[in-house]
Amino acid sequence: MKIMSKGKASLSSSGASMSKYDVEVESRLKALEKIAHENCSDGGGGDSETVRIIEAVLRKIHPNWDKLVGKEKAGG
């Protein structure tokens, strides 16, 4: 009798199952957040161009980003 093993999904901090894709997206997001927080904590109040770039990257790697953060796309 052959026993088949099942893959184990990763868990988010809330305990929800996450696909391999979700784990990769979360990893990228955390790296981008770290950069954004470093830029905001330098006393300069943040760089709006950097924020726009980060948001554009997030939209590119996760097509549903606006829905996840509760925003609707403005004009496309």
Q: Does any domain span residue 7?
A: no
**Whether pLDDT at 76 is above 50:** no
- State whether residue 31 is helix, strand or coil: helix
Lowest mean pLDDT of 18-22, 33-37, 63-67, name the range.
63-67
Measured CA angle at 68 (ends 13, 64), to 5 deg: 120
In the predicted model, what is the mean pLDDT of residues 45-65?
Answer: 80
Distance CA(51)–CA(33), nearest Å, equals: 10
Q: Does any domain span residue 5?
A: no
Q: Does any domain span residue 26?
A: yes
Q: Does any domain span residue 12?
A: no
Residues in the chain, total: 76
Q: Is the pTM of this model over 0.95?
A: no
Q: Does any domain span residue 49?
A: yes
